[in-house]
């Protein structure tokens, strides 16, 4: 099986890059940490990679808005590079701050002429939410979520509330099977209350993919649950040999073996 190469894009303030690279390596990929300034100097660097990942953290300190500065850099200086990367049927993953970057740069949901169809904004609680959540996978459109039905992963964000322009946009995204990961609760999946839905996201959305299923962004951190001992209840629940998050990275690697 070929070994895919992963470009883990970092910027000042990024703090989950090494853990994300480690998760990809545990899944069988080869990962490199590359600063955004290197891409600005040489936009052809991604040509040598099959997966681009924008990890979590606080890029540029989340000044102005979470992920906004890095998103502007991608949008205004690297849009052609990213467009070519997507067109070549490679994979793009954004985790937490990376999800915010993909959304605000238009990589995940491009401007349709009326502005951004959706965004990520302040949690309803008005505070940083750091907790474990249950997640349910909807549909089978997303490459990263193949064979996964449910997940336990941690979240750590202040601006993770998914909101759309209007109900028609939400319906269109749902109809296109792009609302692929949602916060879940034991009682109901229709309206998941706080804190199971930690930010008040519309339709309980925790992750979104593009129409191809190859570009995926999510607020929870899969790289923080790749070993059963990462889970706070690992001694009580008799968890399996791996943490829930590792399968996402394995799916990305497997994609290039097919």
Q: Which residue reads 């070929």 in tokens?
A: 2
Known active-site residue 221? yes
Known active-site residue 129? no
Among 67, 55, 69, CA closest to 19: 55
Cβ neighbours of 63 (radius 10 Å): 11
Q: How far apart are the first and last CA of the chain?
A: 9
Known active-site residue 77? no
Residues 6+ apart with CB under 8 A from 36: 9, 10, 11, 70, 73
CA–CA distance, 40 with 240 (Å, rounded to integer):
42
Choice among 157, 221, 230, 231 that is catalytic: 221
In DSSP terms, which residues pair with 1 in a beta bridge? none
**Phi, psi dihedral angles at 12 (to 5 degrees):** -55, 125
Choice among 96, 159, 209, 230 that is catalytic: 96
**Token code pair at residue 16:** 């989950």
Task: Calculate the alpha carbon distances from 222 to 21, 46, 83, 152, 166 in Å.
Answer: 12, 23, 25, 9, 29
Is the CB of residue 1 less than 8 Å from the CB of residue 257?
yes
C-alpha dihedral (200, 70, 106, 184), degrees to nearest 10? -30
**Residues acting as catalytic residues:** 96, 221, 223
């Amino acid at each position: 099986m070929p070994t895919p190469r992963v470009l883990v894009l970092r910027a000042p303030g990024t703090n989950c890059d090494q853990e994300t690279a480690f998760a990809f390596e545990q899944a069988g990929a080869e990962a490199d940490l590359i600063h955004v300034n290197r891409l600005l100097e040489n936009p052809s660097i991604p040509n040598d990679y099959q997966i681009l990942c924008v990890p979590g953290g606080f890029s540029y300190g989340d000044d102005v808005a979470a992920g906004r500065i890095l998103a502007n850099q991608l949008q205004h200086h690297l849009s052609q590079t990213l467009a070519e990367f997507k067109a070549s049927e490679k994979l793009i993953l954004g985790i937490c701050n990376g999800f915010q970057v993909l959304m605000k740069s238009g990589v995940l949901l491009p401007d349709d002429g009326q502005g951004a169809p959706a965004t990520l904004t302040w949690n309803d609680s008005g505070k940083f939410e750091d907790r474990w959540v249950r997640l349910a996978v909807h549909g089978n459109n997303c490459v990263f979520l193949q064979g996964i039905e449910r997940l336990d992963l941690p979240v750590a964000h202040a601006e993770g509330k998914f909101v759309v322009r209007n109900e028609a946009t939400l319906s269109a995204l749902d109809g296109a099977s792009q609302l692929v990961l949602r916060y879940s609760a034991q009682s109901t999946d229709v309206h998941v209350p706080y804190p199971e839905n930690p930010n008040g996201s519309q339709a309980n959305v925790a992750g979104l993919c593009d129409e191809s299923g190859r570009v995926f962004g999510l607020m929870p951190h899969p790289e923080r649950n790749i070993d059963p001992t990462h889970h706070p209840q690992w001694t009580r629940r008799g968890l399996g040999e791996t943490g829930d998050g590792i399968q996402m990275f394995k799916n990305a690697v497997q994609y290039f073996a097919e």
